[in-house]
Amino acid sequence: MATTSHLINGRNVFPSGVRTTEVENPANGEVVAEIPLASPAEVDQAVAAAKDAFQSWRSTSLSRRVQILFRYRELLNARKDELAAIISREHGKVHSDALGEVTRGLEVVEFACGIPHLLKGSFTQNASTSVDVHSARHPLGPVAVITPFNFPAMVPMWFTPIAVATGNTVVIKPSEKDPSAVNWQVELWKEAGLPDGVVNVLHGDKVAVDGLLNHPDIQSVSFVGSTPVAKYVYETGTAAGKRVQALGGAKNHMVVLPDANLDRAADSAVSAGYGSAGERCMAISVTVAVGDIADELVEKIAERTRGLSLKGEDPDMGPLISKAHRDKVRGYVDGAEAEGASLVVDGRTWEESDQPGAAFLGPTLLDNVTPEMKAYQEEIFGPVLCVVRVETYQEALELINANPYGNGTAIFTRDGAAARRFEMDVQVGMIGVNVPIPVPMAYYSFGGWKNSLFGDSHAHGTEGVHFFTRGKAVTTRWGDPAEGGLELGFPQND
């Protein structure tokens, strides 16, 4: 079994006698790695490394930083298959999906390569007589990035390239369920020429997170995970005086209007509902069928769902992250059936004997789900698609706006005016029109509303650059040497 250590100041650190945990491959139950769980002493060590590296890194010129970013981009692009293999081994997602995750992360690196342009301040000449004013953005210092299991490479890349490009130093605390992808990425940063200590990896659980949230030298916290933990991280981090962006869970609805192309809508519902076994914060978990198309739409979705494969050379989806999570997801299906939902496709028929030790659940389609059911109210985070039937567009809109989450949503229609109205009225951060998973490009910002985001800043894009920097405005007077004299009055602009 391999060990995955903390990576502090460019060195692997695995202290003896500490708490550890094992990482399992959920596709076969095999233990593939062991990691240390940081104690407060290792938190201090990682933060100290980031603090030590900060003064020198913030003074490194933008051209040098950009050369490293370009090299990192080239290396990652050339070796992305290696990273995808690590993701598949620890997370379980299929190779094509893992590769897709890396590619979306690469987009953030490419965005960060343009940092000199993004950091340009403004300048006003002769704002007052012989007085010029300019603005500049400065790095924060050592920052913390805490990430979830479902995108072990991409989510760390939402933050790290921008934090580094803007001159900060970083401590990343990856999910303890699939931690090795971050080590691989940080080794690659080193190969690209990033000095030791600029990005450090700290493995652990709540002890590590609490240590970072309360550490006086950590200036900001970027968190992605479930809503209860996101709320806790936001409240604890801001109480300790830090800047915090905490992205939480989701319950994404896809509205299908009666005029939509039902084949395209069914393709999208299935791809977005079951891709990555539904373990995506932008997965579609509720399809809202409007009007009299419901029977036909459900039939089309069912047909496609039944055709998905979990086996063979090129499966459509992999297992869930663990058997415990698989059982929790299965519990939602049991509950919905007991509460009166119609079970159209039952993924529980997947037998463990097909793949001993695996955490699989087949794709499951539930129809006639109502907002009172637990399967509707809670984030399932598994391959379970619920269909809610409503009569009108207005009912669909009210359903979404009454939901406590507001991460992503989509509308399928041929009616531009209806789509535009939806865009204006829906209380959700990321909206797709005939696009089921509207994850914005890296130069836009990613984030939801309501219980899907705590804090003011979304991830990456210009909001990411602002999050990792603080503004200064500088007023300068270089008077004519011929002028002079005392003036004790309050400075006036003239």
Residues lying near ligand NAD in the complex (CB under 6 A) are found at 146-151, 155, 173, 175-176, 205-206, 209, 224-226, 229, 232, 247-250, 281, 379, 381, 407, 448, 452
CB atoms < 10 A from the CB of 177, how many?
A: 19
Nearest distance in Å: CB 176, ligand NAD: 5
Minimum distance from residue 247 beta carbon to ligand NAD (Å): 4
| Residues 13 and 50 sit within 8 Å (Cβ to Cβ) | no
Distance CA 4, CA 69 (A): 25
* Residues 6 or more apart in contact with residue 451 via CB below 8 angstroms: 227, 231, 248, 249, 404, 405, 406
Residue 141 contacts residue 51 (beta carbons within 8 Å): yes
Give the end-to-end CA distance of the chain in Å, rounded to a whole number.
73
CA distance 410 to 353: 37
Residue placing its CB nearer to ligand NAD in the complex, 51 or 173:
173
In whole angstroms, the minimum distance from the beta carbon of 470 to ligand NAD comes to 24
Q: State the minimum distance, in angstroms, from the CB of residue 313 to ligand NAD.
A: 29
Choose between 197 and 237: whose C-beta lies nearer to ligand NAD: 237
List residues with catalytic annotation: 281
Beta strands in 204-325 (DSSP E): 220-224, 243-247, 252-256, 284-290
C-alpha span between 39 and 433 (Å, rounded):
47
Q: What is the 3-state secondary structure (H, E, C) of 248-263?
A: CCCCEEEEECCCCCHH
For ligand NAD, give the closer residue by CB, 197 or 249.
Answer: 249
Residues 228, 234, 237, 238, CA torsion sign: negative
Q: To the nearest 10°, the Cα dihedral for 458, 433, 97, 360?
A: 100
What is the closest distance, in whole angstroms, from the C-beta atom of residue 232 to ligand NAD in the complex? 6
Nearer to ligand NAD, 205 or 267 (CB): 205
Closest CA to 140 of 57, 39, 201: 57
Beta carbons of 460 and 442 less than 8 angstroms apart = yes
Structure-token match 């690209």, residue found: 192
Q: Residue 139 or 273: which CB sits closer to ligand NAD?
A: 273
Q: Are strands 169-173 and 199-201 parallel, antiparallel or unpaired?
A: parallel
Q: Specify the pairing of strand 2-3 against strand 31-36.
A: parallel
Please say which residue, 281 or 290, places its beta carbon nearer to ligand NAD: 281
* Complete DSSP assignment for 190-201: HHTTPPTTSEEE
Select the residue whose beta carbon is closest to ligand NAD and give its number.
225
Pseudo-torsion of CA 236, 58, 5, 185, nearest 10°? Answer: 100
Query: If you compute the radius of gyration of the chain from its CA atoms, what whole number of angstroms results?
Result: 25
Nearest CB to ligand NAD, comparing residues 260 and 286 = 286
By beta-carbon proximity to ligand NAD, the closer residue of 76 and 437 is 437
